[in-house]
Structure 1
Amino acid sequence: MTNGTGTESLATSGDTSMPASSEPASRTAFHPDNYTHSCHPLYVHLSNVLGSSLVTTPFDGTGYGSWRRNILVALSVRNKLGFIQGISTRPPDSSPLARQWQRCNDLVVSWLINSLTKDIARSVEYSKLAQGIWSELEERYSTADGARIFELKKELPHISQGSLDITSYFNVIKQLWDEISSISTNHCSCGGSKKADDEQKLYQFLMGLNDTYLQARSNILMIKPLPSVSNVYGILLANEKQRNISCTSQFSSGSASFHVGASGFKFTKGGNPRKTAAHVEVESSNNSFGYSDAVGSEQTYSLHGLTKD
């Protein structure tokens, strides 16, 4: 059956080889020459301006692995990875896309240069192709990844919790793990290797904990199979919160307030405002004092670090 335009209608035919609805496909389908479509690799959004940087901190020659990852993510979001990977090649001069391709290439060149410090940018600013800049940076700085991995793995055994809370300690050690993973060229997704790597991370995390988590650490190591690092982090975080609540409760139950006046000391115990000290005596021999309240009861308390003037 055909419609008024002579196009065969498949929606009502018995052919089931086509999807019931082609609406999702129509959103992403575009003509190869229509670079105004948002999914076209040569499409330029209004926010993609010349002179902007792809990263918050320009690359200064150190931390290339982290900088490289941020650049790849930023270009992927802008659908411009093909310009540094060599996938998007320049069309012939006769092509209607030639001018738009050059525009996109120059835009990526500008982004890369502005993501470098001035000293490094000067060494690549005359490169005409974004792929050429990227290849030169890869060749120049990726060779230092081995030394960086050695430095990070040497630092890992010395990471400990110290005065940090669980969250801060976990963030410090996880940052090292992620950086090693991002610049390592020996990636294996097989089950055995990943399991061994996860266990190694778990042991590193547990070894750096303070002794206050000795019991929690022992309980975790008795779990078979061993939980993931993320699960252990959740367990220890809950343990830390429970410790803080317990400490706060103990402090509140045993607290008392002391007020120093011009005429001497005043002691207030409990929450009953009528039971206040009428008289305080300080004995210099043992820094103890006694008081009698409104109902005549007497008690003796010790003052630590307090002397009689």
Structure 2
Amino acid sequence: MARDQSDDPQNPFFLHGADHPSLVLVSNLLNGNNYNTWERAIKIALTVKNKLGSIDGSYDQPSNTDSHAAAWSRCNSMVISWLLNAVTKEIADSLLYHESAQSIWTNLQLRYQQSNAPRIYQLKQSMNNLVQGSLSINAFYTRMKTIRDDLKTYQPAPTCHCGNMKAWNDYQEQEFVMTFLMGLNPSYAAVRAQILMMECSLSILKVFLLVVQEERHRAIGFDAHAETGQGSGSSVALTQGRR
């Protein structure tokens, strides 16, 4: 008897024993305002599951007489469940009667994928307006990098690997460095000036580490000052008592 190919882990219709309809593939559910990052996360998760073909049209529904019809149906229903679990309840309710995972995916793209120009404008505006404020250096950097990575998805993929492309990438990196430094609180003016005076251009990661190091030194200094302040306060009290 021929072995069912759907039992082969390499087969796109294969379902592992750990796969179940209640599985949640992503931590942040689609709420209508986070489509780009959600789409990226879902694609990564489905690629790991070898199920990306269920949403991109790679696997058309076979005829009822096809030997893979049952396997396709099980796989399709499983991916539908995963997609419904990855969106808010309000969005999920509007998708319940779609017959295929691909149909759900297309529907979500049409509803929430914004056209390039407005989205690019929105992201650049968010980047320019972002300042550290009450955020830690790590939280500020993470928020800025998230916006930058989202913005990069709208840039055409480079096909040239010549020196000009390296120069362009270096320029983009320095633009990010400058935006990061400009968004820091005024209290970091000294470390910002030191970085800008360096002869060689630093990567954004190196700049981030330098600023984080400064933040940690301040935290240590604050603790030491607090302890010293208690001691000096006692000394002042003692001096006043002697008078």
Q: Which TM bucket (shorter chain)?
A: 0.7 to 0.9
Query: 1:200: Cα distance to partner?
Result: 1.0
Instruction: Classify 1:211/1:61 alpha carbon distance in 2 versus 1 (closer, same or farther; 3 Å).
Output: closer
Q: TM-score, normalised by structure 2?
A: 0.83
Query: 1:145: Cα distance to partner?
Result: 5.1
Q: Which has the larger radius of gyration?
A: 1
From 41, 45, 50, give the equivalent of 1:74.
45
From 32, 54, 64, give the equivalent of 2:25.
54
Deviation >4 Å, runs of 4+? none
Counterpart residue number, 2:6: 35
Q: If each structure's strand is expressed as a fraction of its own residues, which one has the higher value?
A: 1
Note if 1:237 corresponds to 2:212.
yes
What CA deviation, in whole Å up to 9, does each residue of 1:79-108 have, x standing for no partner?
100111111233444443221111101211
Counterpart residue number, 1:136: 107
Instruction: Classify 1:210/1:123 alpha carbon distance in 2 versus 1 (closer, same or farther; 3 Å).
Output: closer
Query: 1:75: Cα distance to partner?
Result: 1.0
For residues 112-127 of structure 1, the aligned pairs below 5 Å read 112-127=83-98
Say whether the 8 Å CA contact 1:54–1:74 is kept in structure 2.
Answer: yes
Counterpart residue number, 2:132: 161
Q: If each structure's helix is expressed as a fraction of its own residues, which one has the higher value?
A: 2
The one-letter code sitting in structure 2 at the alignment partner of 1:75 is L
- Counterparts of 2:122 and 2:151 in 1: how far apart (Å)? 10
Instruction: Classify 1:250/1:56 alpha carbon distance in 2 versus 1 (closer, same or farther; 3 Å).
Output: closer
Query: 1:254: Cα distance to partner?
Result: 4.7
Counterpart residue number, 2:227: 252
Instruction: Classify 1:136/1:193 alpha carbon distance in 2 versus 1 (closer, same or farther; 3 Å).
Output: farther
Structure 2 gaps of 5+ residues are 160-164
Query: 1:44: Cα distance to partner?
Result: 0.4
Give the CA RMSD over aligned residues: 2.9
Counterpart residue number, 1:179: 150
- Counterparts of 1:161 and 1:174 in 2: how far apart (Å)? 13
- Counterparts of 2:207 and 2:80 in 1: how far apart (Å)? 44
Counterpart residue number, 1:194: 169
Structure 1 gaps of 5+ residues are 1-30, 259-267, 271-275, 281-288, 292-299, 301-309
What CA deviation, in whole Å up to 9, does each residue of 1:7-58 have, x standing for no partner?
xxxxxxxxxxxxxxxxxxxxxxxx9952222232111012211244433443
Say whether the 8 Å CA contact 1:84–1:130 is kept in structure 2.
Answer: yes
- Counterparts of 1:185 and 1:127 in 2: how far apart (Å)? 32
Query: 1:230: Cα distance to partner?
Result: 0.5
Instruction: Classify 1:60/1:145 alpha carbon distance in 2 versus 1 (closer, same or farther; 3 Å).
Output: farther
The secondary structure found in structure 1 opposite 2:7 is coil
What CA deviation, in whole Å up to 9, does each residue of 1:179-235 have, x standing for no partner?
3234x2534364233222211110000011223322221221233431111011111
Instruction: Classify 1:32/1:144 alpha carbon distance in 2 versus 1 (closer, same or farther; 3 Å).
Output: farther
